[in-house]
Chain A
Amino acid sequence: MPKENETAKLLAEKKDEILEAWFKEQGAAESLREDLMSRDDLRGQADNLLDALCKTASSGNLKNVDTPQYEDMRGVLADISKGRAKLGFSPSETAMFVFSLKPAIFAFLGRRYQDQPEVLARETRVVSNLLDRLGLLTFESFVKEREDIIVKQQQELLELSTPVIEIWNGILVLPIIGTLDSARAKIVMENLLQGLINRSASVAILDISGVPAVDTAVAQHLLKTINAARLMGAECIVCGIRPGIAQTIIHLGIDLASVNTKANLSAALQQAFDLVKLQVLTKGQKTKEA
């Protein structure tokens, strides 16, 4: 009989007893968090893990966790990690949960191989290494989840910080706040073009008063956006150019001659109304003759 299957046999035979022993230990352990997980749920989770371990062990591979044989195991560990994270367990606590299986198994190994110290030493080492690796997998799973969340939030942040406001029928305002790098500029352009379609707009006001600096790259981005909007039948007005920015633009020799620019939002709005042939009147005032 191949040596490695000794432990697999033991696990399969004594699974229930190991589970009981483990559970009893858990109950006494400091890391038991009854405030986060009920005993029943804990028992369920322990059962799942041990079950998966038995199945995997029967494949004969107790060393290499990167093989397809460990796919189910990895799935179970990922679920445990995710579930516990949601409940508020720290990644260490989750890893400890896996590690805590060791004493239970070692006890049984000790009884079985009382008279075979070499086998006992070997099997203990194999199980220890394996459980270490499995505990670490829960940690890796946790980190990956976190990274995914960060990426998602970054995306949301990008989108949130470039709102498109329909300030009047067919007139959009895009307050651009923060540095306009290429990632941001792409979102601005996409949001603007989509906004033109969604709102049937023919004028878009780009308010850059919240953009700290405008260099040639930023100007390029703006020009691209304006040109694309023009191709779709909308005229763009850029406003909010602070005096300092205006100086930089001239200094850098950026040519914004083809761009409709206004100092502030109200001036831009005024022009937008002109473009769509609307006029603002005080109540009681008659229309001026053209």
Chain B
Amino acid sequence: MERIPIFTMGDILLVMIQTDVHDRLLESLQGDVAAKICDTGARGVLIDISALEVIDHFMARQLERIAALTRLLGAESILIGMRPAVAVTLMELGMTLEDVPTAVNVENGMDRLRARMGSSVPGGENNNEDDGQETEPSEECLDYADRAGFPQD
């Protein structure tokens, strides 16, 4: 079954959402992102929405959910590449996406994400010692995995 691809780049997950994404794909994305965060210990999720020509309120809610989900699991997320026309439409719709950080492109997105990741971990020096190895799954991850019925290793 086709799924939205999630790439791992160090401690950040990259999600590329394609143009003709349908509802079920977005729903399964939530589960996939959650699982991946727990698997890799990622603390940042960069979601590229530049291919989306249209975001209606259902899709906007899904994106809000993904952001909330990642936050629950101890990670920060950010949406990048929203098209101007889409921004205008969402604004007309009255959707503010206020709990979802956004950035205009990958570089800004990465900067913003790193800044938030750094400040969300008490004692940010730990980042430097991270050499890409899997970190211990956080408390939240274990909880979620438990509730969602994911196999625990």
Which residues of A pack against B, CB within 8 Å?
170, 189-190, 193-194, 196-197, 200-202, 224, 227-234
Complex Cα spacing A233 to B91, Å: 13
Tell me which of B78, B87, B90, B97 contacts A193 (CB under 8 A).
Answer: B87
* A202-B87 in contact (CB<8A): no
Tell me which of A189, A201, A232 contacts B82 (CB under 8 A).
Answer: A232
- Return chain A residues, CB-CB under 8 Å to B102: 230-233
* A231-B82 in contact (CB<8A): yes
* A231-B87 in contact (CB<8A): yes
- Return chain A residues, CB-CB under 8 Å to B107: 200
Which residues of B pack against A, CB within 8 Å?
78-80, 82, 84, 87-88, 90-92, 96-97, 101-105, 107-109, 112
Tell me which of B80, B90, B92, B96 contacts A233 (CB under 8 A).
Answer: B80
For residue B52, give the distance in angstroms from its CB to the closest CB of chain A: 12
Known: A190-B84, A193-B88. A232 touches B96 (CB 8 A): no
- Among residues of B, the one whose C-beta sits closest to the C-beta of A190 is B84
**Residue among A193, A200, A231 with the most chain B CB within 10 A?**
A231
Complex Cα spacing A170 to B109, Å: 13
Known: A201-B104, A233-B103, A233-B108. A193 touches B84 (CB 8 A): yes
* A228-B84 in contact (CB<8A): yes
Q: Considering the complex of A and B, which 6 residue pairs feature the smallest CB-CB distances, nearest first?
A: A193-B84, A233-B102, A233-B103, A231-B87, A228-B87, A227-B91
Complex Cα spacing A254 to B73, Å: 40
- Return chain A residues, CB-CB under 8 Å to B101: 233
* B84-A202 in contact (CB<8A): no
* A194-B108 in contact (CB<8A): no
Complex Cα spacing A201 to B103, Å: 9
- Return chain A residues, CB-CB under 8 Å to B82: 231-233
* B91-A202 in contact (CB<8A): no
- Return chain B residues, CB-CB under 8 Å to A197: 84, 104-105
Known: A190-B84, A193-B84. A231 touches B96 (CB 8 A): yes
Tell me which of A189, A190, A233 contacts B104 (CB under 8 A).
Answer: A233
Complex Cα spacing A89 to B152, Å: 87
Complex Cα spacing A123 to B10, Å: 91
Complex Cα spacing A224 to B94, Å: 10
Complex Cα spacing A231 to B107, Å: 17
